[in-house]
Amino acid sequence: MEEKSNKFSAEYIRKYLDGQLSDQEMQALEKAALEDPFLADAIEGIEESGKHAVSFESGIADLKTKLEQRISEKERKTGILFQLSKWPVAASFILVIGLAVFMVTYINKKQASVTLDKSSQENSVRADSVKRDEPVIASVKSRDIKKNATVRKESITIMKADKIQPDKKKDNSLSADSSRFFSDTTHEAENLETLARRDVSAPVAAAAKKDVLEERVAAQTIEPVVGSSGNYIRGHVINDQGKPVPYAKVNVRGSGKHVFTDTAGFFKLYMKDPRLAALVYVQPAGYESASAELIPDSNITHTIQLHSSASDADLTTFPDEKTSPFIIGWDAFYHFIDSNKKINTKDSVMKGEEVISFTLYSDGRLSPFRIEESVSSSHDKEILRLIRIAPALKLREKKKIRCVLQIRFK
Amino acid sequence: MSFLKDIKDSQTADQDLISQYKREGDIRILGELYQRYMDLIYAVCLKYLKEPAGAQDAVMAIFEELVSKLRKHEVTHFKGWLYTLAKNYCFMHLRSQKQMPVSQLPEFMQLTEIPHLETVFEKELNLNQLSKCIDGLSPDQKQTVQLFYLEEKSYKEIAGITQTDWNKVRSLVQNARRNLKICMDKITPNA
């Protein structure tokens, strides 16, 4: 059977598709294609080529040239390598890589926008490191105060708690100083983390309650350095004006993994192998995507600057309003919610931004919902209610897509 | 485009080239081998990736994989192996682009069906059982399969006779084949 189908070249298939073969020959090819998936796929491929401007034959001719170039290139490469003995080559490789790592580390340390320097190897310096981190907490706090006009008391508590949480996981015996300072908040943080991580799609009211804290607990942009492994790539995504870009999708090429930046534009990626650099893609709505090759190092926060896409200048404040090419009906969906929103409870005095993310499937289904940023539980409820009755969204081509809805209450 | 024509249909020649490549590590030998199938591989990539430019890149990337993989792996059926390699490459590429329809994922895990279909082919010789199974098909499928297998008509002819679309005929034959296979498996489970 294998030999049989070998008779059929691309040229022969082309004749078949053009109707130049006799009925008998056609039937023989069809029969062979049923036996041989390779042939069947090839027929469909050549059929597909008819839809494009580039003819199949010219494609093959291009490929032949490319292959010849590749072969001569490779010959040269292998030739050089074979002339040298194995060990000097290996040694120089290691030297070059070592130098490169050193350079990248050095440069990044200089450029880092937030550098939590010195990965202390000993646990005894814990108290010190907590202190060192405090200014960072303060800066994040003030940023949030600016952003959400109302900052509730509990969220401040949690920011402290969030700060201590990773420490607690790693070592329960906190040093005297820090435990005195944080002892009343650690428990609370644990509970809230559980709450916040929960999917809100089912019991909306219950989970929405504390979701305001979710992003702060989950983000951990200012996780302490103590004891952290070097498996993390940290980054800070900013726009061309130096402002943080929240909810930008960050991909690692080839892994299918992605994370979103938090409200302050920070992200963190876990890499299995800390020695490997990863090609990181940032694909925010409303900006041109950017990529950078980053090396995992917990002490460095890489800064990635984006440029606004030329088409829409005022998207910086509402990056997600920009309609994805894959979503149909986003504008209607967004405007329905934006124009119908109404808060009837006492929470209506509260102002700020509601950010809710969800996955849109090809059948129009929306789930699971996540409150990324909350003004109050009444606001969460209202937005979720409106999402249910809003004009349906549709997907073009894709199976599913993660959407971020951002509604401002003013 | 002379290489399109001189696709040699002997498997041993492929095998000879593979062992020669393993021995000498000469990439030209691999190039010669790859050129025999490059047009078909390009067609397969076109089928899955749809874009001529993307398909061309894929053909070159598959060649790169071949350079290293053929040194390491013991390949006996080069053509089938190469097809699987190419198809998997395309699926991996689509998946990394997030364009992969979920329904196609299981196919990615399978090898080519060639060895399996061989047994089907043998079973088809057992005409008694086959005719029983043909009787069990839907009228559409029955008519098409009879025209195709027993009267040896091409899809085009069948489309003319039954006044249906060419693509419909193809899917009728494919579906009938699948049903027949299931039916034959039921009758002779151990064959």
Q: Which amino acid appears at position B24 of this protein?
A: E
Upper half-sphere CA count for residue A309 (Cβ side, 13 Å)? 13
Tell whether A330 and A398 lie within a shared domain. Answer: yes
Query: Taking CA atoms, what residue in B is nearest to A75?
Result: B27
Strand A232-238 relative to strand A301-305: parallel, antiparallel, unpaired? parallel
Tell whether A354 and A301 lie within a shared domain. Answer: no
Q: Which amino acid appears at position A245 of this protein?
A: V
Euclidean distance between CA atoms B62 and B87, whole angstroms = 10
CB contact at 8 A, A276 and A302 = no
Residue of A140, A189, A139, A198 whose CA lies nearest to A164: A189
Contacts A–B by Cβ distance under 8 A: 162
| Ranges under pLDDT 70 in chain A | 1-7, 74-87, 109-230, 254, 256, 275-276, 285-286, 298, 308-325
Condensed to tens digits (0 to 9), the pLDDT of residues A345-360 reads: 888 888 888 888 888 8
Cβ pair A63:B46 closer than 8 A:
no
Cβ pair A67:B152 closer than 8 A:
no
CA distances (Å), B148 to each of A354, B71, B154, in order?
A: 63, 43, 6
Tell whether A143 and A205 lie within a shared domain. Answer: yes
Instruction: Give the pLDDT of residue A234.
Output: 81
By the 10 Å C-beta count (0-12 exposed, 13-18 middle, 19+ buried), B52 is classed as buried
Q: Chain centroid to CA B30: how far?
A: 22
Cβ pair A41:B43 closer than 8 A:
yes
Cβ pair B42:A35 closer than 8 A:
no
Structure tokens at A263: 């409200």
B interface test, pick of A7, A30, A56 with most B CB neighbours within 10 Å: A30
Cβ pair A37:B113 closer than 8 A:
yes
| Domain presence at residue A251 | yes
Say which residue, B38 or B100, is predicted with more confidence: B38
Give the distance from residue A304's alpha carbon to the nearest chain B alpha carbon, in angstroms. Answer: 22
Cβ pair B47:A48 closer than 8 A:
yes
Cβ pair B11:A52 closer than 8 A:
no
Instruction: Give the pLDDT of residue A316.
Output: 32
Tell whether A206 and A127 lie within a shared domain. Answer: yes
Upper half-sphere CA count for residue B85 (Cβ side, 13 Å)? 27
Instruction: Give the pLDDT of residue B83.
Output: 92
Give the distance from residue B168's alpha carbon to the nearest chain A alpha carbon, in angstroms. Answer: 14
Give the distance from residue B70's alpha carbon to the nearest chain A alpha carbon, in angstroms. Answer: 16
Euclidean distance between CA atoms A359 and A27, whole angstroms = 47
Upper half-sphere CA count for residue A393 (Cβ side, 13 Å)? 30
Condensed to tens digits (0 to 9), the pLDDT of residues A43-99 reads: 989 888 888 888 888 889 999 999 988 888 755 555 455 555 566 777 888 899 889
Tell whether A348 and A283 lie within a shared domain. Answer: no
Strand A352-361 relative to strand A400-409: parallel, antiparallel, unpaired? antiparallel
Structure tokens at B50: 């749809």
- The helix (H) or strand (E) run that includes residue A279 is strand A278-283
Within A212-346, residue ranges assigned H as helices are 214-219, 330-340
The CA-based angle A166-A168-A174, given to 5 degrees, is 130
Euclidean distance between CA atoms A178 and A131, whole angstroms = 9
Its ipTM equals 0.70
Euclidean distance between CA atoms A281 and A123, whole angstroms = 35
Average confidence score pLDDT of chain A? 67
Q: Around Cβ A146, how many Cβ atoms within 10 Å?
A: 9
Tell me if the domain spanning B116-187 has CATH number 1.10.10.10.
yes
Q: Which amino acid appears at position A152 of this protein?
A: R
- Give me the residue from B39, B50, B101 closest to A48, CB to CB: B50
pTM (predicted TM-score): 0.40
Tell whether A200 and A163 lie within a shared domain. Answer: yes
Domain B2-105 is of which CATH architecture? Orthogonal Bundle (1.10)
Domain boundaries, chain B: 2-105, 116-187
Q: Is the dihedral of CA A163, A165, A170, A174 positive or negative?
A: positive
Tell whether A194 and A240 lie within a shared domain. Answer: no
CA distances (Å), A106 to each of A299, A300, B29, in order?
A: 11, 10, 46
- Give me the residue from A31, A45, A254 closest to B47, CB to CB: A45
Cβ pair A38:B177 closer than 8 A:
no
- Give me the residue from A6, A27, A68 closest to B154, CB to CB: A27
Instruction: Give the pLDDT of residue A119.
Output: 40
The conformation of residue A394, written as its DSSP 8-state character, comes to: E
- The helix (H) or strand (E) run that includes residue A165 is helix A153-170
Token match 């938090």: residue?
A262
Instruction: Give the pLDDT of residue A84.
Output: 52
Condensed to tens digits (0 to 9), the pLDDT of residues A177-204 reads: 333 333 333 344 344 444 444 433 334 4
Give the distance from residue A363's alpha carbon to the nearest chain B alpha carbon, in angstroms. Answer: 14
Give the distance from residue B99's alpha carbon to the nearest chain A alpha carbon, in angstroms. Answer: 6
**Boundaries of domain holding A261:** 232-305
CB contact at 8 A, A115 and A300 = yes
Tell whether A159 and A241 lie within a shared domain. Answer: no
Instruction: Give the pLDDT of residue A143.
Output: 41
- CA torsion A178→A140→A119→A98, rounded to 10°? 170
Average confidence score pLDDT of chain B? 78
| Domain presence at residue A70 | no
Cβ pair A23:B154 closer than 8 A:
yes
Structure tokens at A184: 């009343």
Token match 């006492």: residue?
A346
Cβ pair A59:B10 closer than 8 A:
no
| Domain presence at residue A95 | no
Last residue of a domain, one of A219, A241, A265: A219
Cβ pair A398:B99 closer than 8 A:
yes
| R_g (Cα) of chain A, nearest Å | 28
Upper half-sphere CA count for residue A49 (Cβ side, 13 Å)? 30
- Give me the residue from A43, A48, A67 closest to B38, CB to CB: A67
CB contact at 8 A, B50 and A48 = yes
Tell whether A297 and A339 lie within a shared domain. Answer: no
Tell whether A131 and A206 lie within a shared domain. Answer: yes
CATH assignment of the domain containing A286: 2.60.40.1120
**Percentage of chain B exceeding pLDDT 70:** 75
Cβ pair A46:B45 closer than 8 A:
no
Q: How many domains does chain A have?
A: 4
pLDDT band at B34 (very low <50, low <70, confident <90, very high): very high
| Domain presence at residue A375 | yes
Give the distance from residue B21's alpha carbon to the nearest chain A alpha carbon, in angstroms. Answer: 13
pLDDT band at B125 (very low <50, low <70, confident <90, very high): low
Euclidean distance between CA atoms A368 and A379, whole angstroms = 18
Cβ pair A2:B114 closer than 8 A:
yes
**Percentage of chain B exceeding pLDDT 90:** 16
Q: Helix or strand or coil: residue A238? A: strand
| Domain presence at residue A103 | no
Cβ pair B40:A42 closer than 8 A:
yes
- Give me the residue from B1, B95, B156 closest to A57, CB to CB: B1
CB < 8 Å to B173, chain A: 30, 34
- The helix (H) or strand (E) run that includes residue A360 is strand A352-361
Euclidean distance between CA atoms A158 and A219, whole angstroms = 12
Instruction: Give the pLDDT of residue A259.
Output: 81
Tell whether A212 and A286 lie within a shared domain. Answer: no
CB < 8 Å to A61, chain B: 1
The conformation of residue A121, written as its DSSP 8-state character, comes to: S
Instruction: Give the pLDDT of residue B63.
Output: 92
